[in-house]
Amino acid sequence: MSAKGSILIIDDEQEIRESLEQVLKLEGYRPASASTAEEGLQKAEEELFDLVLLDVSLPDRNGLEVLRALKHGSPDTGVIMITAYDSGQTAFQASKQGADSYIPKPWDNDRLLLEVRNTLDKSRLQVENFQLRRALKRYALPNIVGKSEPMQKVFDLITQVAPTRATVLILGESGTGKELVAKTIHSLSPRADRPFVPVNTGSMPIDLLESTLFGHVKGAFTSAIATKRGLFEVADQGTIFFDEIGTVGVETQSKLLRVIQEREFMRLGGTETIKVDVRILAATNADLRKLVEENKFREDLYYRLNVIALPLPPLRERKEDIPLLLDHFLKKFTHENGRKELRFAPEAMKLMMDYDWPGNVRELENAVERAVVLSTTDVLEAALLPEQLSQNHAHAVQSFPAPEMEGRERFEIMEACERRIILDMLERSNWSQTEAAERFKIPLSTLNQKIKRLRIDFKRRREA
């Protein structure tokens, strides 16, 4: 891409396109052109341009419609409208729909180039501001660790929904940090100085859940020797968080629905209506949509809870975050155990990077704590890690007979492991090198180099 920027010209007149291309090239820009709206939108979809010069009148589509489509696909791309009809109304509509500037034909080159420079500067400033806001949001979430793209999306959504009172449904496998996300949403909300009340519905007997949530009056049941407030009253003006919401019984679901809709309830055995202002966050590792289809979860409650869905990625899909997580947990547990600075040995790091972590971040945290507690030196060796990590590594190389390993140097053993891992991934990817590279999260060229270096004859294996 040109250092000054790439510019797409969409105009049905060839002379106009050629004239604009010549002016822009002389100024160091990289222009491309299209003669129709369809061609222009196709090029804009295939390549991200820094700026678009767009004719208002095109043979196959109105320029304002094209403007809307361009801004929908890439809001940060600058657009300058050009037209032979200098209409104030058209200019107003173009500006209202996101155009950065409006130039009539015939144009003055100096004015055109000035508008181009100003629009590019404005677009770049917007991108820089977005990146800065994103970085600042990240620093506002000190307890959630991750730099991967999936986690950046999580950070963005958290900071967007936290200031509102919207109900959020946090989705993710066990151990992905759903309660931590709920606490973070609460801490960034206007309710931060009010109670955050977690309720683990999965560990609570169904017959006690309603009493715990709504409270009870004296004499409501045999052991009710005094009136007791429920968790909804405790959480008034604050946030209540339902972990494993899918385990709630159908009868309790109907009462939860009433609280969400009416913001009121009655204690068990009571007749007084109690009003509360509580924000509801919920989490589940179950497929609630499937539970609805099986009549195990109320559809109306599902939609009330699923106002904002916030999915958390499993750790195996963001392995680039593992080193950050290890550093975070090492600092935490060395401090808690009064230890000096510790580090993982390379062999231990490799085991942890190769492991899929079915228990997600919680399993990783437990593994780090175990290693810190059991270590007697400043270097945490692979032997301190849970047994399943070494078993996973052994499985990766089990197809290599032990006699072949005897006498090999360490680097040869590592090559054998790497060859086995690549072959396994190719097989899981139906022998598609492109798909395998995407799963490894490495460039295709890198994978091809590894295949050549390791002398992997995967074509013969694929045909077999």
At 273-325, the pLDDT tens digits run 899 999 999 999 999 999 999 999 999 999 999 999 999 999 999 998 999 89
> How much is the average pLDDT of 93-120?
83
Contact 46, 74 (CB under 8 A): no
pLDDT at 402 over 50: no
Question: What tokens does 180 get?
Answer: 């931590």
Q: How sure is the predictor about 412, in pLDDT bands with cuts at 50, 70 and 90?
A: low
Question: What tokens does 286 get?
Answer: 């179950």
| Start-end of CATH 1.10.8.60 domains in the chain | 316-396
Listed range (55-64, 182-191, 215-224) with the worst mean pLDDT: 215-224
| Start-end of CATH 1.10.10.60 domains in the chain | 399-463
- Residue 435: the pLDDT is 78
* Helical H segments across 298-428, by residue range: 299-305, 322-336, 346-354, 360-374, 387-397, 402-405, 410-428
State the pTM of this model.
Answer: 0.58
* Helical H segments across 11-108, by residue range: 14-26, 37-46, 63-73, 88-96
CATH of 316-396 given 1.10.150.120, 1.10.630.10, 3.20.20.150, 1.10.8.60: 1.10.8.60
Q: Transcribe 105-132 into DSSP letters.
A: SSPPHHHHHHHHHHHHHHHHHHHHHHHH
Contact 146, 324 (CB under 8 A): yes
> How much is the average pLDDT of 76-91?
73
Domain at 149-311: CATH code = 3.40.50.300
Omega into 142 within 30° of 0, i.e. cis?
Answer: no
CATH of 399-463 given 1.10.760.10, 3.90.1150.140, 1.10.10.60, 3.40.50.2300: 1.10.10.60
- Residue 226: the pLDDT is 87
Buried residues in 32-45 as b, exposed as e (16+ CB within 10 A): bbbbbbeebbebbe
pLDDT digits (tens, 9 = 90+) for 40-59: 998 888 888 889 999 888 88
| Start-end of CATH 3.40.50.2300 domains in the chain | 6-131
How many whole angstroms from its chain centre is CA 282? 18
Choose between 29 and 415: higher pLDDT.
Answer: 29
pLDDT at 214 over 80: yes
Contact 461, 422 (CB under 8 A): no
What CA–CA distance (Å, rounded) separates 239 from 119?
Answer: 44
Domain at 6-131: CATH code = 3.40.50.2300
- Residue 400: the pLDDT is 45
| Start-end of CATH 3.40.50.300 domains in the chain | 149-311
Q: How sure is the predictor about 228, in pLDDT bands with cuts at 50, 70 and 90?
A: confident
> How much is the average pLDDT of 358-378?
93
pLDDT at 187 over 80: yes
Question: What tokens does 24 get?
Answer: 């822009």
The CA-atom distances, in angstroms, between 140 and each of 83, 163, 319, 396 are 46, 13, 23, 40
